[in-house]
């Protein structure tokens, strides 16, 4: 038995609020540390890149792509400078969602010179119609679903279902435990940023039982710090994933579910 493992990361526009990195230097350190952590362990990250991050970190991102990372698109209208409507994706009209995605993709291409095939929205905000729109716009993979999240004001409302969705396109949910709620009312999800080595191990076990494991993180947190929760959890997660032979790492765009 082989269980797919996805190591994902959000490169968020700096200076856009408490859920974003304070500045681009912080963002750069965090991105570099996370990528080195995963690549050093033999895992293949998918980094979801905001249009602002594509501009600010273009040389670093191109180097990470050459080292094996996939560069996907992060669209988070409420955290971006290029969008006039400062609202989460899932509460926008489909016409405004289309505009947000196409604008973000255009800036991404301007600085990174290729077309992303994977996409994620900020705060995992969206609906099944958002997934259909992503397919219409040429994306083949998403990672938008956060099982158990029930935050209508953010447009983040997903059922308690951790399975990979095959329709309307392949969506890889982040591994979460809806029975444990974080301070922001999201369900506890698999990230070095939250919980303890014990809760992380429990989430990995839960993900394996549901058929896939999806880790996430973001430049809003200080990866690479020499002490603290993120360092402890990052090392524990790396070791746990490395010591679990049933897991096989994929970039999102490389994964095709078995028939």
Residue 12 pLDDT > 90, yes or no? yes
Name the percent of the chain lying above pLDDT 70.
Answer: 100
Average pLDDT over residues 41-68: 98
Question: Other CB atoms closer than 10 Å to residue 52's CB: what's the count?
Answer: 26
**pLDDT attached to residue 184:** 87
Average pLDDT over residues 133-161: 96
Tokens coding 161? 């279902």
Residue 164 pLDDT > 90, yes or no? yes
**pLDDT attached to residue 83:** 86
- Residue 93 — pLDDT band, cuts 50, 70, 90? very high
| Ordered structural domains, the chain, with CATH | 3-254 (3.20.20.370)
- Residue 161 — pLDDT band, cuts 50, 70, 90? confident
Q: Determine the angle formed by the axes of helices 94-112 and 128-136, rounding to 10 degrees.
A: 50
Q: Where are the beta strands (DSSP E) in the chain?
A: 3-11, 45-49, 70-75, 118-121, 141-142, 150-151, 156-157, 170-171, 176-181, 187-189, 213-215, 247-249
**pLDDT attached to residue 239:** 98
Q: What are the contacts of 235-239 at 24+ separation with CB within 8 A?
A: 236/197, 236/200, 236/201, 237/190, 237/192, 237/197, 237/200, 237/204, 238/37, 238/38, 238/41
pLDDT in tens, 101-116: 999 999 999 999 999 9
**pLDDT attached to residue 181:** 95
- Residue 86 — pLDDT band, cuts 50, 70, 90? confident
pLDDT in tens, 195-247: 999 999 999 999 999 999 999 999 999 998 988 999 999 999 999 999 999 99
**pLDDT attached to residue 150:** 96
Whole-model pTM above 0.95? yes
**pLDDT attached to residue 28:** 98
Judge contact between 88 and 118, C-beta under 8 A. Answer: no
**pLDDT attached to residue 85:** 82
Q: Point out the least confidently predicted range of 83-87, 98-102, 143-147, 148-152.
A: 83-87
Q: Point out the least confidently predicted range of 39-53, 157-171, 192-206.
A: 157-171
**Torsions phi, psi for 189 (to 5 deg):** -125, 165
Q: What is the residue-averaged pLDDT of the chain?
A: 96
Residue 259 pLDDT > 80, yes or no? no
d(CA 249, CA 45) in angstroms, rounded, equals: 8
């Amino acid at each position: 038995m082989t269980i797919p493992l996805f190591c994902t990361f959000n490169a968020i526009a700096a200076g856009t609020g408490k859920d974003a990195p304070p500045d681009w230097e912080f963002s750069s350190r965090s991105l570099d540390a996370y990528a080195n952590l995963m690549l050093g362990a033999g895992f293949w990250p998918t980094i979801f890149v905001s249009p602002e991050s594509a501009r600010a970190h273009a040389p670093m991102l191109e180097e990470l792509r050459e080292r094996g990372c996939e560069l996907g698109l992060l669209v988070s209208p409420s955290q971006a400078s290029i969008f006039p409507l400062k609202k989460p994706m899932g509460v926008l009209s489909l016409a405004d969602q289309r505009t947000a995605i196409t604008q973000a993709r255009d800036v991404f291409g301007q600085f990174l010179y290729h077309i992303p095939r994977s996409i994620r929205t900020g705060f995992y905000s969206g609906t099944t119609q958002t997934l259909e729109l992503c397919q219409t716009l040429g994306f083949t993979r998403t990672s938008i679903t956060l099982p158990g999240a029930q935050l209508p004001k953010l447009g983040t409302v997903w059922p308690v279902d951790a399975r990979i969705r095959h329709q309307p396109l392949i969506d890889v949910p982040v591994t979460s435990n809806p029975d444990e709620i974080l301070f922001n009312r999201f369900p506890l999800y698999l990230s070095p940023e939250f919980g303890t080595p014990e809760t992380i191990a429990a989430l990995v076990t839960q993900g394996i039982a549901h058929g896939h494991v999806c880790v996430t993180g973001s430049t809003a947190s200080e990866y690479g710090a020499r002490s603290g929760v993120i360092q402890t959890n990052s090392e524990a997660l790396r070791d746990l994933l490395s010591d679990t032979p049933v897991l096989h790492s994929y970039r999102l765009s490389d994964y095709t579910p078995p028939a």
